[in-house]
Structure 1
Amino acid sequence: MSARSKARKRAMDMLFKADLVGHSIEEVLADEQARAANEPERAASWRYARQIVSGVAEHFAEIDEDIESTARDWRLERMPRVDRAILRIAVWEIRFNEEVPDVVAISEAVQNATEYSTEDSSRFINGVLARISDRHGA
């Protein structure tokens, strides 16, 4: 697994935790940063995970609005928490990270949904992200 794939997983864990326990993304990020200081072998994945989570926090309202307006008949509150985390990461990459091609962001999100979420999540996430990419992508 590449360092960026590991970073996406780490970011997914942080966003999921913030959503689950009701802490701010900034609080969870600070806790994880303290933990990362003791894990120098994971420094490469930590840097990109921090960039993702900070970016999601910075653009949170825009990202959630994009997801909800694109997800046909699905409100964010109805989606599994893990799907929300995966979507937020991918939307941030599509809209705000020019280093990651949309196709890579979508592929990684679908892979994470296949591995960590429900049976139908990968198709749902693929459809939402494809529409967002068409609207905002390069």
Structure 2
Amino acid sequence: MSARTKARKRALDMLFQADVLDVPVMEIVAGEASRAAGEPDRVASWLYAREIVDGVTDHRAEIDDLISSYAQGWTIDRMPNVDRAILRIASWEMLHNPEVPAPVAINEAVGLAKEYSTDDSSRFVNGVLGKIAEHAQS
């Protein structure tokens, strides 16, 4: 598993925890930073996970507006927490990280949805992100 794939999982964990526990994401990040400091082999994945979480936090309003506009019949608040976090991560990568091609961001997000969410989530995530990718190219 690549360092970026591990980083996406770590970012998902942090965003999900903050959402479920209803605490500021930076509290979760601080705890993860302490753990990462004690495990030098996790440095590469930690740095990108932190970049993702910071990026999602900085651009959350824009990202949530896009997700809401393309998630037909779903509001951000009605989405399962894990799906919402996955969509935010991939949306940030497509919109604000030119190093990650949209198909890679979508593929990684669909994989996370298959692993951590419901049977229908991967199709939902794929559909929403496909529309966001089209938006990003226009």
- Where does residue 117 of structure 2 map in the other structure? 117
Rounded to whole Å, the distance in 1 between the matches of 2:64 and 2:98 is 19
Paired amino acid for 2:13: D
Unmatched segments (≥5 aa) in structure 2: none
Instruction: Report if aligned partners of 1:12, 1:86 keep a CA contact under 8 Å in 2.
Output: yes
Partner deviation per Cα, 1:53-73 (whole Å, 9 max, x = no partner): 010011111111111111001
Compute the TM-score of the two structures, normalised by the length of structure 2: 0.97
RMSD: 0.9
- Where does residue 92 of structure 1 map in the other structure? 92
Rounded to whole Å, the distance in 1 between the matches of 2:55 and 2:107 is 20
Compute the TM-score of the two structures, normalised by the length of structure 1: 0.97
Paired amino acid for 1:35: R
- Answering whether residue 25 of structure 2 is matched by residue 25 of structure 1, we say yes
Paired amino acid for 1:123: R
Instruction: Report if aligned partners of 1:102, 1:137 keep a CA contact under 8 Å in 2.
Output: no
- Where does residue 10 of structure 1 map in the other structure? 10
Instruction: Report if aligned partners of 1:94, 1:137 keep a CA contact under 8 Å in 2.
Output: no
Aligned counterparts, 1:31-70, within 5 A: 31-70=31-70
Paired amino acid for 2:24: S
Partner deviation per Cα, 1:15-64 (whole Å, 9 max, x = no partner): 00000001111221122111111111111100100000010011111111
Rounded to whole Å, the distance in 1 between the matches of 2:136 and 2:54 is 20
Provide the secondary structure at the position in 1 that maps to 2:38.
Answer: coil
Aligned-pair identity in percent equals 60
Rounded to whole Å, the distance in 2 between the matches of 1:59 and 1:31 is 22
Rounded to whole Å, the distance in 1 between the matches of 2:52 and 2:63 is 12
